[in-house]
Amino acid sequence: MTPEQLSSALVAALTRLVDDGRLTLPDGVPSTVLVERPKVREHGDYATNIALQLAKRAGVNPRDLAQQLAEEIVTDDGVASAEVAGPGFLNLRVSAGAQGALAGQVVTAGDSYGRSDVNAGQKVNLEFISANPTGPLHLGHTRWAAVGDAMARVIEATGAEVTREFYVNDRGNQMDVFGASLMARAHGEEPPDDGYHGAYVADLAAKVVAEVPGVLDQPADEQLVTFRETGYRLQLAEQQAELDELRTHFDVWFSERSLHDSDSVEHGFDRLREQGRLFEADGATWMRTTDFGDDKDRVLVRSNGELTYFASDTAYYVNKRERGFDPCIYLLGADHHGYVGRLSAMAACVGDTPGEQLEVLIGQLVKILQDGEELKLSKRAGTIVSLRELIDLIGVDPLRYTLIRYPVDSPLTLDVADMTSKSNDNPVYYVQYAHARLASILRNAADLGITVDGSYDASQLSTEREGDLLRALAELPRVVARAAELREPHRVARYLEDTASTFHKFYDTCRVLPQGDEDVTDLHRARLVLVAATRQVLANGLGLLGVSAPERM
RNA sequence: GCCCCCGUAGCUCAGCUGGAUAGAGCAAGUCACUUCUAAUGACUCGGUCGCAGGUUCGAAUCCUGCCGGGGGCACCA
């Protein structure tokens, strides 16, 4: 009996009470009843506070209502006991057989266990990183790469179709500055003051020279273009290769230039004009974002005729919407927080509802320490911690996992020593180790000729540790659904850590396979199914984070 | 000045859309491997949930004010 089934059973019980006239609910019976796992064991396998919530509306004492519900719910075969506690909680115990059945269900469901179709039909656009193609990706980008990709996987697991999109800012003044910086380095000169000064610039310049042998003999204006364009192509390719290595794969790399090569910008303006949000003033063209709470109106076309970045952004959003996406999610760093107000207002200006078609998630910044010193990440100053270095220093699995396991709205301080440590102060190995342990048991079982099949006796799984583990496995579907709904993939990681811990405790007290020349009993078989189910849950969860589930460690 | 995020054990952080006695890992100390992976488990120590009010059966969680830290407020990208 899963929490979902228990919840349905409670709804059914309430419905019976109402139908029989034993209970009056003016607003009707709620469609779902929240069932939670109590922290204290004495409070049962599951508990619900539904009586406390309904008592006022029903005009009865919460404990009396809980008592009525208790008497009704125990008639269900899967419920072993129900008792009223405290101000009106209902503490429930599930029968071993009903609970143990889950293990077989998980094994049968396999890779699909934990997935659902609650968001089926939804077309989600998830934009993240969107770095300028003028330098290597750094630590900040790496956090969004890991979190964004995990978020995409989690949302996909609820049935939605998710497009991962990277917006390439390949237009504007910074591209020329980038070209000029490369060109200067190629000639052994210092880049301009406002240019790019990182050590990578000289390396990249050398690559351009290698790729285009005659470049240094080209006329200056032509040479600038060659450096800019070739440097752009090489730098973008490097970003793509590194993200690939981090297992973050984008479906669409969307070039800002392509918006301008097509009529997308004009098209966006048309939309604003239709909505009456465009106006001219001081020789510039503006969007009236103050109609929707922005603190000032925003310029789209400057008085010198140049388009602003925000003009591109607006066109891009309209483009996404016309490709059928709803919602469009933006994952931005805290340094872009000032952008949220105008993005939301922009969505309203083109006729959408901010918070529905457009969602902005702000992630806080990351700091990384090594030997107590902060690794700096200023691209322009040149001392950067790049994605490449992080992968080499920490490894893909620990890097991804560590960045994903914290909520994005909390600022983060990470220590290199912790992330590379191969002990249980490193949660990624704690979870992976549990998986490897489980895989090992399954290998040993196969050697003994014991197979996992559906005909086990579920009621054998009757001890406390087995019950704890079964209840942990039962949580995966709602953890995934909740993580998707709240856009918080870190919940999956935390869940895996809890579940791994619950498994280790089970392993400590419950022998799975027969020892020596012992006969194979129903208990052995049942526990083996539980082991197979646990392995499946950890593997599915790690898969949602894009972290590997090793068979051996 | 205005806006956003954060403030929980010595450290790094959870806290399940308001629930019962606030948790985990690390750090400090103790114990358990002839037995399926000890990268594990058991136990001890450790707290005015920044401060003050408010909302209610009930607040770390919601509201207001204050204090402290981070970030942001361009006809830049």
Q: What is the DSSP string of A156-210?
A: HTTT-EEEEEEEE---SHHHHHHHHHHHHHHTT-PPPTTS---HHHHHHHHHHHH
Whole-number Å distance between alpha carbons of A262 and A211: 30
Beta bridge partners of A354: A358
Give A301's DSSP letter: E
Q: pLDDT band for A414, please (50, 70, 90 cuts).
A: confident
pLDDT greater than 80 at residue A14: yes
Whole-number Å distance between alpha carbons of A74 and A6: 11
pLDDT greater than 60 at residue A150: yes
Stated in angstroms, how far is A411 CA from B50 C1'? 17
User: Which residue's CA lies closest to nucleotide B33 at its C1' atom?
Assistant: A508
pLDDT greater than 60 at residue A380: no
pLDDT in tens, A442-451: 999 999 999 8
pLDDT in tens, A473-516: 999 999 999 999 999 999 999 999 999 999 999 999 999 999 88
Q: Is the CB of A59 under 7 A from strand B?
A: no
pLDDT greater than 80 at residue A529: yes
- Give per-residue burial for A470-500: e unless 16+ CB within 10 Å, then b: bbbbbbbbbbbbbbbeebbbbbbbbbbbebb
In this structure, of A340-344, A367-371, A377-381, the range with the lowest mean pLDDT score is: A377-381
Q: Is the dihedral of CA A463, A464, A469, A472 positive or negative?
A: positive
Beta bridge partners of A299: A286
Stated in angstroms, how far is A380 CA from B75 C1'? 25
Please compute the mean of the pLDDT values over residues A194-214 and round it to a whole number.
92
pLDDT greater than 60 at residue A383: no
Stated in angstroms, how far is A343 CA from B13 C1'? 32
Question: Which of the nucleotides lies closest to A92 (Cα–C1')?
Answer: B20
Dihedral angle, C-alpha A467, A473, A476, A477, nearest 10 °: -80
Stated in angstroms, how far is A68 CA from B63 C1'? 35
pLDDT in tens, A208-238: 999 999 999 999 999 999 999 999 999 999 9
Stated in angstroms, how far is A391 CA from B72 C1'? 30
| Residues contacting A282, CB < 8 A, separation 6+ | A303
Q: Is the dihedral of CA A17, A18, A23, A28 positive or negative?
A: positive
ipTM, two decimals, is 0.94
Continuous H helices in A352-489: 387-394, 396-404, 416-420, 427-447, 464-486
Q: How far is CA A347 from CA A257, A318, A489, in A?
A: 21, 9, 26
Stated in angstroms, how far is A479 CA from B16 C1'? 8
Stated in angstroms, how far is A13 CA from B37 C1'? 46
The rounded percent of chain A whose pLDDT value lies above 70 is 98
First to last CA, chain A: 34
Q: pLDDT band for A197, please (50, 70, 90 cuts).
A: confident
Q: Is the CB of A551 under 7 A from strand B?
A: yes
Three-class SS state of A280:
strand
Q: Is the CB of A485 under 7 A from strand B?
A: no
Stated in angstroms, how far is A471 CA from B42 C1'? 22
Q: Is the CB of A504 under 7 A from strand B?
A: yes
Q: Is the CB of A91 under 7 A from strand B?
A: yes
So what's the pLDDT on residue A376? 61
The protein footprint on chain B, as nucleotides within 7 A of a CB, is 2-7, 12-17, 19-27, 35-42, 57, 69-77
Stated in angstroms, how far is A18 CA from B33 C1'? 58
pLDDT greater than 70 at residue A379: no
Question: Which of the nucleotides lies closest to A414 (Cα–C1')?
Answer: B12
- Give per-residue burial for A244-278: e unless 16+ CB within 10 Å, then b: eebbbebeebbbbbebbeeebbeebbebbeeeebb
Q: Retrieve residue A238's tokens.
A: 């490097």
Q: Is the CB of A232 under 7 A from strand B?
A: no
Average pLDDT of the residues of chain A: 91
Q: Is the CB of A12 under 7 A from strand B?
A: no
Q: Is the CB of A303 under 7 A from strand B?
A: yes
pLDDT in tens, A156-196: 999 999 999 999 999 988 999 999 999 999 999 999 988 88
In chain A, positions 415-444 with C-beta closer than 7 Å to nucleic chain B are 422-425, 427, 429-430, 433, 436-437, 439-441, 444
Q: Is the CB of A56 under 7 A from strand B?
A: yes
pLDDT greater than 80 at residue A115: yes
User: Which residue's CA lies closest to nucleotide B23 at its C1' atom?
Assistant: A39
Question: Which of the nucleotides lies closest to A52 (Cα–C1')?
Answer: B57
Q: Is the CB of A31 under 7 A from strand B?
A: no
pLDDT in tens, A226-278: 999 999 999 999 999 999 999 999 999 999 999 999 999 999 999 999 999 99
pLDDT greater than 60 at residue A395: yes
Question: Which of the nucleotides lies closest to A408 (Cα–C1')?
Answer: B5
HSE, CB side, 13 Å, CA atoms: give it for residue A547: 32
So what's the pLDDT on residue A537? 97
In this structure, of A82-91, A116-125, A211-220, the range with the lowest mean pLDDT score is: A82-91
Stated in angstroms, how far is A59 CA from B9 C1'? 43
Q: Is the CB of A284 under 7 A from strand B?
A: yes
Question: Which of the nucleotides lies closest to A86 (Cα–C1')?
Answer: B20
Whole-number Å distance between alpha carbons of A269 and A299: 12
pLDDT greater than 50 at residue A23: yes
So what's the pLDDT on residue A378? 44
Domains by residue range for chain A, with CATH: 3-94 (3.30.1360.70), 423-544 (1.10.730.10)
pTM of this structure = 0.95
Q: Is the CB of A315 under 7 A from strand B?
A: no
Q: Is the CB of A53 under 7 A from strand B?
A: yes
Q: Return the number of other C-beta atoms located less than 10 Å from residue A376's C-beta.
A: 14
Which of A514, A531, A532, A512 lies closest to A448 in space, CA to CA?
A514
Question: Which of the nucleotides lies closest to A85 (Cα–C1')?
Answer: B20
